């Protein structure tokens, strides 16, 4: 299980998200409160963010180090500012390598994505049927071996094959495909994802085994005014709202939060 974090709002230094909160992503890496599998998130991390003034592809900083051991992140996070950020700390599924290609966020075109969850016995079950549904270009774009990156590729496949489709619809269709396959192969799936395009956030909390991995959102808090934060665990005491199970949450540029349950 990984820990996820998404932010949309006024540009702020990254350290306000990563370090300042009392139960920050740094703390969650070594002292998580709501993980249902694993004890630590020590198998790498990543941060992705968008430029505040230019329409350019998002930037990523990733490492296989535990986030608390990376000496470059603290000074970097003090000087980089962004109004749209995704970050993740990783707890690797047993058998999957601690490798930079397996560290999130994943990125293609303007989209960043992070995933917390699992596909049970992925290599022996859904690995091949998921790959068989991909275009040649997306098949070849996969660099790692995680279920997370394959979920992202399947979502991009849906998005590219349906011009004009929303990210919410592409995410929902992807989840339907994966959970139908999971039923066929009789495996458990957890699919908490956060997606960003630089202007919006879209997140899901889905599992075919209850309870689903935890996911919360918070809007317009004194610590992050005029902003929305989505996180696997609350970063501090506040009016955090648990996302319902089997739901997709979307946050627009106006910070309006919409939730659909399925």
The catalytic site residues sit at 2
Q: CA-CA distances (angstroms) from residue 135 to 102, 132, 152?
A: 21, 8, 13
Beta bridge partners of 219: 228
Parallel, antiparallel or unpaired: strands 45-49 and 59-63: antiparallel
Q: Which residues lie closer than 8 Å to 109 by C-beta, 6 or more apart?
A: 57, 156
Q: Which residues lie closer than 8 Å to 76 by C-beta, 6 or more apart?
A: 14, 61
* 45 Cα distance to chain centroid: 11
How many residues are given for the chain?
A: 262
CB atoms within 10 A of CB 95: 9
Is 103 in contact with 62 (CB distance < 8 Å)?
yes
Q: Which residues lie closer than 8 Å to 248 by C-beta, 6 or more apart?
A: 168, 171, 172, 202, 203, 204, 259, 260, 262
Task: Provide the 8-state DSSP code for 176.
Answer: H
| Ranges of H-type helices in 186-227 | none
């Amino acid at each position: 299980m990984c820990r996820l974090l998404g932010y949309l709002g006024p540009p702020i230094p990254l350290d306000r998200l990563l370090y300042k909160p009392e139960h920050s992503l740094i703390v969650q890496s070594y002292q998580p409160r709501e993980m249902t599998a694993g004890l630590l998130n020590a198998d790498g991390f990543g941060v992705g963010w968008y430029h505040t003034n230019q329409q350019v592809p998002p930037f990523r900083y990733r490492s296989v180090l535990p986030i608390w051991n990376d000496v470059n992140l603290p000074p970097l996070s003090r000087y980089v500012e962004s109004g749209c950020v995704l970050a993740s700390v990783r707890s690797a599924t047993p058998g999957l390598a601690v490798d930079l290609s397996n560290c999130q966020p994943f990125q293609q075109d303007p989209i960043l994505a992070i995933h917390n969850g699992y596909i049970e016995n992925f290599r022996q079950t859904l690995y091949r049927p998921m790959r068989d549904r991909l275009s040649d270009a997306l098949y070849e774009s996969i660099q790692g071996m995680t279920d997370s990156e394959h979920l992202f590729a399947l979502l991009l496949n849906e998005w590219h094959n349906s011009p004009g489709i929303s990210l919410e619809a592409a995410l929902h269709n992807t989840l339907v495909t994966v959970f139908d396959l999971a039923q066929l192969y009789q495996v458990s799936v957890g699919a908490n994802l956060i997606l960003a395009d630089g202007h919006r956030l879209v997140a899901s909390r889905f599992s075919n085994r209850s309870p689903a991995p935890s996911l919360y959102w918070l809007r317009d808090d004194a610590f992050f005014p005029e902003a929305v934060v989505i996180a696997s665990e609350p970063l501090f005491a506040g009016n955090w709202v648990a996302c319902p199970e089997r739901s997709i949450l979307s946050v627009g540029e106006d910070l309006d939060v919409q939730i659909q349950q399925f």
